[in-house]
Amino acid sequence: MTHRILIIDDEKTLRYFLRRHLEDEGYQVTEAADGQTALRLIAQQAFDLALVDLRLTDMDGLDIVRELRQLAPNTGVIIMTGHATLDSAIEALRQGAHDYLTKPFDTSELLASVSDGIARQSAEPPQAGPSNETILEIKDLSLNRANRQVSRAGQIINLTPTEFDILAALMAQPDIALDSIKLIKIVRGYEATEADARAITRVHVHRLRHKVEPDPANPCYVKTVAGGRYLASTT
């Protein structure tokens, strides 16, 4: 099955970059240079995923996300944003976007997010880990499953849905190393190949560490162990 992706961005060069790499991966790609064109396309065609820039010439990208949720609730949404619009990207996550990519982003980050976003739309509901507790804690890191909020030493940390789910899966089984295939199965409910699972997990864990770790180069919460496995460390 060929998955259909809609790129919504007013930068022609970026649309070309995205189209080339996505088509190389076998995706069918449609482009929209402005919000109004995007909304017409969404009303006329079905897309598996939309890549939405938050700064368009004719409308706010957040408005497109809201319209997408109404017109095409089964379409996954990935936000593309610069640092200046990071708060808006977080707001888009609250409104149902799957993920956000901060410009400039590299090809591996793009493809991992797209692959994960498409799989998420058709996956079974995520499986809960062994712990059924609402509040999970490791050292001064706290995760609340009920309101999907994470904090460190009382300071709120904004995570994407995938980053939150990976952290929750690890914190539910502290000090137990999980491989990438098992993590993707817990978080997304589908079986990924080892190569795909490692690629997806590597990108999201890298970004997760830059948000929760005081020193991402020397992680103390989310550690890597032999065999490309990860664990939430209590020591």
Neighbours of 3 (CB within 10 A): 21
Domains (range + CATH), the chain: 4-122 (3.40.50.2300), 135-232 (1.10.10.10)
pLDDT band at 170 (very low <50, low <70, confident <90, very high): very high
**Residue whose C-alpha is closest to residue 182's, from 133, 118, 230, 222:** 230
- The length of the chain is 235
**Residue whose C-alpha is closest to residue 123's, from 196, 201, 190:** 190
Confidence at residue 124, expressed as pLDDT on a 0 to 100 scale: 47
DSSP 8-state class, residue 55: B
For residue 174, give the 3-state DSSP assignment.
coil
Averaged pLDDT for residues 13-18: 94
**Residue whose C-alpha is closest to residue 128's, from 176, 165, 174:** 165
Confidence at residue 113, expressed as pLDDT on a 0 to 100 scale: 85
Taking only the tens place, the pLDDT of each residue in 125-146 is: 444 455 567 899 999 999 998 8
Taking only the tens place, the pLDDT of each residue in 61-83 is: 888 888 888 888 889 899 888 76
| HSE-CB of 205 using CA atoms within 13 angstroms | 26
Confidence at residue 83, expressed as pLDDT on a 0 to 100 scale: 66
Q: What angle do CA 48, 50, 55 make, to 5 degrees?
A: 175
Confidence at residue 128, expressed as pLDDT on a 0 to 100 scale: 46
The rounded percent of the chain whose pLDDT value lies above 70 is 93
Whole-model pTM above 0.85?
A: no
Exposure string over 131-152, b if 16+ CB within 10 A, otherwise e = eeeeebebeebbbebeeeebeb
